[in-house]
Amino acid sequence: MGQVTPEVEQRVEQLRQKLQEASYAYYVLDAPIMEDTVYDRLYRELQELETQYPQLISLDSPTQRVGERPATQFTSVRHNIPLYSLENAFNIEEFTSWESRWRRQATEIDAFEYVCELKIDGNALALTYENGVLVRGATRGDGITGEDITQNVKTIRAIPLRLNMKAPPPVVEVRGEAFLPIEVFEQINQERQQAGEQLFANPRNAAAGTLRQLDSRIVARRKLDFFAYTLHLHQLPITNYQLPVTQWESLEFLQEIGFRVNPNRKVCSSLEEVRDYYNYWDTERRNLPYMTDGVVVKINSFALQERLGFTQRFPRWAVALKYPAEEAPTRVESITVQVGRTGALTPVAELDPVQLAGTTVSRATLHNSSRIQELDLHIRDTVIVRKAGEIIPEVVRVLAELRPQDAQRFQMPSNCPVCGEAVIRPAGEAVTRCINASCEAILKGSLVHWASRDALDINGMGDKLVQQLVDKKVVQSVADLYDLTVEQVISLERMGKKSAEKLVDAIASSKSQPWARVLYGLGIRHVGSVNAQTLTDQFRSVDQLAKASAATIEGVYGIGPEIAQSVYQWFTLPANQTLIQRLLAAGLQLATGDRQDINTAKAENLAFSGKTFVITGTLPTLKRDEAKELIQKAGGKVTNSVSAKTDFLVVGEDAGSKLEKAQALGIAQLDEAQLLEMLNN
């Protein structure tokens, strides 16, 4: 029996009062004041305190009403057709904005339909059938490559081993979601508890752990289920089957050939109908035998889907309309301050660890000092946390009535917690910043950004390596990277000769990255990858951009005054001017066409100037973004849709309707080899 302190006693009483208020609001007034997950967490905290201090148990207490192993042997496989992720909308207002965006690209369309499907909270699978027989089942992975788990997929009874088709096409691709029914999930956790094993956090994690079991017998016992939602058909025998022309017909066809399709789908012809469907399942989903975290809305017509195409990351014709994020209460134990690559100071709440959306959350962003004041947050407060977009934990609100007497207000530091220099808060901004260019935190962030995929794309240069380079004073600027030797890198922890050589080679290779990537890599405030491309299209060299006035920069279409001023001011700083000179001396591309890799087009020739390209299907060696970049370097333009203005169609495997349209319009087709040959001539 533990020693009761005044703080513990106060906490127990506060919890009882809060839980009793919540029970009254829910059962008597029928007006809930907190989510079930919040109630459960506070209830559990009270239970734990009463267990630890049984002398505090009272008759009126709410508690007294009623006395996976990681896989290492799966093969990585490239998907025949990429598995795109979906853009998220977190309410009807965001869905309305999404609808407005696609309708601007099809202004003449008056009547259209959506297909609404429940978004199953599981794990995406890509199934390949050859001549009607299942030959491969793979995880989504990064959308381009996944893991071959065919033996495990075969254990799922809802997935047919052979399609119910008399004369199947040579290849059929099916996408869907593998999941664990809630009842099965609970049974599995019960068995794991009895066996003294760690419990799964949620059905999605349990399904993922199951799919990656090396022993398929274990997978079979777990009774995974599956809903199919996407069909890719080519060379369908028209004499036997009618090719689906809508998402709804595709789902019906999937069911006809042997797949389980979610029955709770609906065709909606207006935003209002989508909203009604979304709101209905926001409540009814709790009565389903599986987990769903939102609604997937797709334009029904395949022809309209094809016309709208894709962004770099998402289809324009589909969106995931998510339900509000899961929330949970916990306590703020302390507040620390992080310094980012732009010098921004971000307060972070250090939390009593709490389970949220399937993960353990121990830290949450507080954004800035204004947000802390708005929340009236004190250290030791009980707060409600959630995952913004189910990714980034954040503090939503404070339960001030549970505030202990020893709670302390937090003050943003007046000096940088990393370098010790004075910080500033510019007028009109909410963010406090360190402006010391030599600050190690800023330097580390700058190096990570410089090496990132959309910037210089330096393979092997991650956070841990950057930390060592800065801590050991080996690198004090991004320009220092290009002076690194193999001997210097070998001196770092866990870095052998071979790894060191690969890193130095990767850094050297980054010199061939185009001017737009270099500009983005510089990390100028407000300049993302898209803005960097826009600026370098207008200012063909760093010298042109550095000499441009803020007004001239603002005159570029798509560049606003804030971006223009940020770019102008960056180039006026002597330290940045020195950096540019060092990068020029190192041989980086700071002008369009300064240097080109031998496998790329020579920009000065502009072999594709004025030519419009469309890429379709899967190319043998090039990723679509790589092919696009090569074409653009040679002066060409890449679009998503085939039209009379298209000059060339670059064709890979599994080319779809774009090829048919190009053939009908008499547009020239190129395979990868022909494209590269043209580039190198």
Q: CA nearest 628: which of 606, 607, 643, 650? A: 650
Name the E strands within 53-212.
75-78, 87-89, 114-120, 123-130, 133-139, 145-148, 171-179
Q: CA nearest 591: which of 661, 536, 553, 640? A: 536
Write the single-letter amino acid at 413: P
One-character DSSP codes across 221-285 = HHT-EEEEEEEEE-S--TTT-PPP-BHHHHHHHHHHTT----S--EEE-SHHHHHHHHHHHHHHG
Helix axes 463-471, 440-451, angle to 10 degrees: 140
CA distance 34 to 384: 10
Cβ 207 vs Cβ 122: under 8 Å: yes
DSSP annotation of 580 reads: H
Question: Is the Cα dihedral 375, 378, 380, 381 positive or negative?
Answer: negative
Q: Report, as residue numbers or ranges, the catalytic residues.
A: 119
Question: Edge-to-edge strands of the sheet including 145-148?
Answer: 75-78, 145-148, 133-139, 123-130, 171-179, 225-233
583 class by beta-carbon count within 10 Å (0-12 exposed, 13-18 middle, 19+ buried): buried
Tokens of 157: 């009874």
CA 634 vs. chain centroid, Å, equals 31
What 3 state SS string does 460-482 have?
A: CCCHHHHHHHHHCCCCCCHHHHH
Residues in the chain: 681
Q: CA nearest 617: which of 587, 654, 566? A: 654
CA distance 218 to 518: 50
Bridge partner list, 344: 433
